[in-house]
Amino acid sequence: MYEKRNDETVADHVIHPLKDLTRAQFAALGGDAVAYLRPVTGAVLGTLITDAEFEASAEYQLLMSADGTPLLVTDTADAVSEWLGETNLGLATLH
C-alpha cells in the first residue's frame, strides 16, 4: 500500500516572500506591465473618480494599473480589448 506523507517540518519552514510585502511593494509588482480589469457599478466608480458622473446602477469595466491608478472606464468589454490592443500591457483579472 502506498501512503503519501508530507514532511511537515519542511512545510512549516518554507518562506513565502510575497506574504511579507508592503502595500507599495505589492503594487509595484506589476509595474507598468500589468493592468487589472474589474467590473464595478457606477456607484463604486463615483467614489473612485470624483470628477465624472456615472449612472449609479449601471455596470462598467474599470481597468487599473498595478498601483490602483484608473486607466480606463468603459461600459463594454470590446472597448477594453481595443484599448489593450493599443498598449503594451498584460491583463490580470481579479478573482
Domain count, the chain: 1
Q: Is residue 18 part of a domain?
A: no
How large is the average pLDDT for residues 62-71?
Answer: 84
Tell me: pLDDT of 10 over 60. no
Three cell numbers, residue 39? 467590473
| Strand (E) or helix (H) holding 47 | helix 42-48
Instruction: Determine the structural domain holding residue 35 and report its residue range.
Output: 31-93
Q: How confident is the model at residue 85 (pLDDT cuts 50, 70, 90)?
A: confident
Neighbours of 80 (CB within 10 A): 19
Average pLDDT value for the chain = 79
- C-alpha–C-alpha distance, residues 85 and 9, integer Å: 47
User: What local confidence, expressed as pLDDT, does residue 3 receive?
Assistant: 64
Candidate ranges 7-16, 66-75, 85-94; pick with highest mean pLDDT: 66-75
Q: How many CB atoms lie within 10 A of CB 70?
A: 12
Q: Are 63 and 80 in contact (CB under 8 A)?
A: yes
